[in-house]
Amino acid sequence: ALITMRQLLDHAAEFGYGIPAYNVNNLEQMRAIMEAADHTNSPVIVQASAGARKYAGAPFLRHLILAAIEEFPHIPVCMHQDHGTSPAICQRSIQLGFSSVMMDGSLLEDGKTPSDYDYNVEVTRRTVEMAHACGVSVEGELGCLGSLETGMAGEEDGVGAEGVLDMEQMLTDPEEAADFVAKTKVDALAIAIGTSHGAYKFTKPPTGDTLAIERIKEIHARIPNTHLVMHGSSSVPQDWLAIINEYGGDIGETYGVPVDEIVEGIKHGVRKVNIDTDLRLASTGAIRRYLAQNPSEFDPRKYLAETVKAMRDICIARYEAFGAAGNA
Ligand code: G3H
Ligand code: 13P
Ligand code: NA
Ligand code: ZN
């Protein structure tokens, strides 16, 4: 059934678990997520970025999600728009039937330039007013995502601030968060606590302090009734990096957010955990390995089935680690 983010996250908060929110662009990702959710009996949040709409086309994307709901009627599914850059974009997604939207007012409409606070409040407040009138949930964002190690926002071509960020921008201020939530009435708030988008988050192996966990605790203590969202939450599995590089890829040494640190965040109010890169790495590794080992094979279903398997295993592991399993 199609369900709002608010309904899912209220349940997650009541029972103290987190829900991975996976980006979807194609059939294989959608199947992997649903098969994993079915296998573990987990609620689903799937999200579509502007890039996803450009790749698949909005109607295909919409029907992909509706098809998932039809095939798995017993699994609650939230259809979320990721990183909307204006109230108008959020409005279009609401008209398309999304049950939840993100108004990312931490950046201007270009999705690159950090905005000022009043702009963020204004676009987010307007989006909430419109969305709530339609029974749709809203996620806002306060602070700029950036790696505390590198000071970089991450991905070149995705959503994210340009250039090097300073520490202040990269950590959401608890007092400002309280004011923001009071003024905008968002259902969930994405916070900047040391993560960044993409595969290149950290250059050194994690030592347990990847996330600004103290800051998460402070924010949660200040706004205990607001569901917190962590973007840039891929763990960048080292086994898949090794497979990619073994079979002709060339990805340098890089690290993500350890699953156990995310689990710690979930103990302190994090309810939605955004993951895209991990599924990209797994599917690329699976394709490279399959084609290298089966050089005469040319039926796309053969190697795409391998990607579904690879992504499904990651989804199952996250549903279980975050405590979502058993809560559909
Ligand atoms: O926010 C970043 C997500 O990973 C979506 O990436 O904009 O390349 O689809 P994308
Ligand atoms: P990753 O790049 O870490 O998977 O983050 C995805 C994300 O935050 C989508 O909004
Ligand atoms: Na989002
Ligand atoms: Zn994001």
What string of pLDDT tens digits covers the 328 residues of the chain? 999 999 999 999 999 999 999 999 999 999 999 999 999 999 999 999 999 999 999 999 999 999 999 999 999 999 999 999 999 999 999 999 999 999 999 999 999 999 999 999 999 999 999 999 999 999 999 998 888 888 888 776 667 787 788 877 889 999 999 999 999 999 999 999 999 999 999 999 999 999 999 999 999 999 999 999 999 999 999 999 999 999 999 999 999 999 999 999 999 999 999 999 999 999 999 999 999 999 999 999 999 999 999 999 999 999 999 999 999 9
Q: Name 45's bridge partners.
A: 21, 78
Please tell me the total count of domains within the chain.
Answer: 1
Protein residue with its CA nearest to atom 5 in ligand 1 = 49
Protein residue with its CA nearest to atom 3 in ligand 2 = 232
126-141 per-residue burial string, b: 16 or more CB within 10 A, e: under 16:
bbbebbeeeebbbbbb
pLDDT of residue 147: 85
Q: Has residue 288 been placed in a domain? A: yes
Q: What range defines the domain where residue 185 resides?
A: 5-321
Nearest atom of ligand 1 to the alpha carbon of 276: 4
Using only C-alpha atoms, the chain has a radius of gyration, in whole angstroms, of 19
Protein residue with its CA nearest to atom 8 in ligand 1 = 158
Q: How far is Cα 84 from Cα 106, in angstroms, rounded to an integer? A: 11
CATH code at position 88: 3.20.20.70
pLDDT of residue 157: 65
- Of all ligands present, the nearest one to the C-alpha of 137 is 3
3-state helix, strand, coil in the chain (%, to 5): 45, 15, 35
Q: Where do the H-state alpha helices sit in the chain?
A: 5-15, 27-40, 50-56, 58-71, 87-96, 117-133, 167-170, 174-184, 213-222, 238-246, 259-266, 277-293, 300-321
Residues 273 and 233: beta-carbon distance below 8 Å: yes
* ipTM over cut 0.95: yes
Residues 79 and 100: beta-carbon distance below 8 Å: yes
Q: Has residue 32 been placed in a domain? A: yes
How close is the Cα of 159 to the center of ligand 1, in Å?
A: 6
Nearest atom of ligand 2 to the alpha carbon of 279: 4
Nearest atom of ligand 1 to the alpha carbon of 157: 8
pTM for the predicted model, two decimal places:
0.97
Q: Which two tokens stand for residue 17?
A: 């678990």
Q: Has residue 328 been placed in a domain? A: no
Q: Has residue 327 been placed in a domain? A: no
Mutating to test ligand 1, I would choose from 25, 55, 82 the residue with most ligand atoms within 8 A of its C-beta, which is: 82
Q: Has residue 169 been placed in a domain? A: yes
23 Cβ below 6 A of ligand 1: yes
Nearest atom of ligand 1 to the alpha carbon of 82: 1
pLDDT of residue 273: 99
25 Cβ below 6 A of ligand 2: no
Residue ranges with CB less than 5 Å from ion ligand 4: 231, 274
Q: Has residue 75 been placed in a domain? A: yes
pLDDT of residue 154: 77
Burial of 44 (0-12, 13-18, 19+ CB in 10 A): buried
159 Cβ below 6 A of ligand 1: yes
Within 10 angstroms of residue 39's Cβ, the number of other Cβ atoms is 14
Q: Has residue 234 been placed in a domain? A: yes
Q: Has residue 40 been placed in a domain? A: yes
How close is the Cα of 45 to the center of ligand 3, in Å?
A: 10
Which residues have a catalytic role annotated? 82
